[in-house]
Amino acid sequence: MHKKTELKNKLRVITAPIKNANSITFLVLVGTGSKYESKDVNGISHFLEHMFFKGTQKRPSTLKIAETLDMVGGEYNAFTSKEVTGFWAKVDKSHKDVALDWISDIFLNSKFEEKEIQREKGVIIEELNMYLDTPQIYVSELWEKLLYGDQPAGWPVIGEKEIIISFNRQKIIDYRENHYSSSNTIVCVAGDIISEEIEEKIKNVFGAMAEKKVGDKAKTEEFQKKPEVLIHNKKTDQTHFCLGVRGYNLFHPKRYALALLAIILGGNMSSRLFIKVRERNSLAYSIHTSADSFTDTGYLVTQAGIDHKNLEKSVRLILKEYKDLKEKEVSPKELQKAKDYLKGTMSLSLDSSDALSSFFALQESLEGKILSVEEKFKKIDQVASEDVKKTAEEIFLPEKLNLAVIGPIAQNEKKELNLSNLLEI
């Protein structure tokens, strides 16, 4: 069971006791990310996340911040996505006060010194270079660029080099002032805790955080009318691609049917595409289908790396499976297997305090309400074979289809590949 409390400054506190757990995780989640940015500061949410680890008055350097939890064997990190930014610390339960003091200190008292901002530019540019040199990561960025174009949903979370270089302390401070408020912040604690005791401790340190009006994100526009292809010409050992369709957002009634559809297609080693593409045709080592839903957008995508000469063959095989799901209902046995897989992986993933804190906090931040595991299981069980078929009929349409490719394919070869004509389902 979890408990949610709202402080006077509108900051939400969620506690999730786990009896006899060894660890406790503190997660501070803020409702902002790259979708909240303007073009001239694209990447600043992620940059700001890095800057929380550079020094406070109490811990004046990166070393002092890092060694606080290193000295007790703790784990800690932060993340930035399209719609949220999070900071977390996981420690043995005997060190819960150390973790709370640490995470509240970096979150509330960071100095954001100009010299540290200048240093961090080099770090983040190297992080960006790493992603650009990793085609199985970069192709996902191209996929979202293809779907959404020149708007926040289509921009990279990390930003672009020219914009990153332009950041200074004033821009960092301005963004924090305009997007960090007690009203869009959640503190979630999971582990062997007493809820009332932890709530009081959190109130004592986060209760003074300012409540203020924060900037909202622009609504994502979707305007696709025909199949689209984006090719990034790069010398690689494999051709990497993302092939998929526009799907549903977090609030859509068919969201769970979409998740099961993705599992049936390519969610595990007994899925249709894993067997067809890898085991029967030896075209890929790894192939995976996932359904991603955000507050105002969503998609289903299949990703794989294959030999350069096998791109068309691979695309045809995947599209055939997409088409089959439109035309025939999945059997009760196959659907039940997907349901049991989804529930089983969800259950296993929530064994740890860090996963449980994310489970509750992300729901509260993105959806404004929290479903228990049992409530989610009930929604999964309610999906029928006809729901999966109707979902397939709605999403597997030529005008929703997209293909992003990285490989040694020059633009003048695009017509020879005839990919646009190939993208028919």
Residues catalogued as catalytic: 49
Look-up of token digits 């401070």: 173
* Cα 341 to Cα 335, 354, 391, distances in angstroms: 10, 21, 19
Identify which of 269, 280, 312 has the alpha carbon closest to the alpha carbon of residue 420: 312
Contacts 24+ apart (CB under 8 A), 59-67: 59/102, 59/105, 59/106, 60/111, 65/102, 65/106
Q: 3-state SS string over 157-198? A: CCCCHHHHHCCCHHHHHHHHHHHCCHHHEEEEEEECCCHHHH
Best CA proximity match to 156, nearest among 172, 143, 170, 165: 143
The one-character DSSP state at 216 is P
Give the residue among 24, 22, 26 at the shortest CA–CA distance from 13. Answer: 26
Q: In this structure, are strands 401-407 and 239-246 parallel, antiparallel, or unpaired? A: antiparallel
Q: How many CB atoms lie within 10 A of CB 291?
A: 24
Altogether, the residues listed in the chain come to a count of 425
| CA–CA dist 196, 291 (Å, integer) | 37
Q: How many CB atoms lie within 10 A of CB 301?
A: 24
**Both structure tokens of 165:** 């270089």
Total H helices, total E strands in the chain: 17, 11
Strand (E) or helix (H) holding 28: strand 23-30
User: Residue 1 has what DSSP assignment?
Assistant: -
Q: Which helix (H) or strand (E) holds 80?
A: strand 75-80
- Whole-angstrom distance, CA of residue 361 vs CA of residue 187: 8
Angle at 253 between CA 252 and CA 254, to 5 degrees: 90
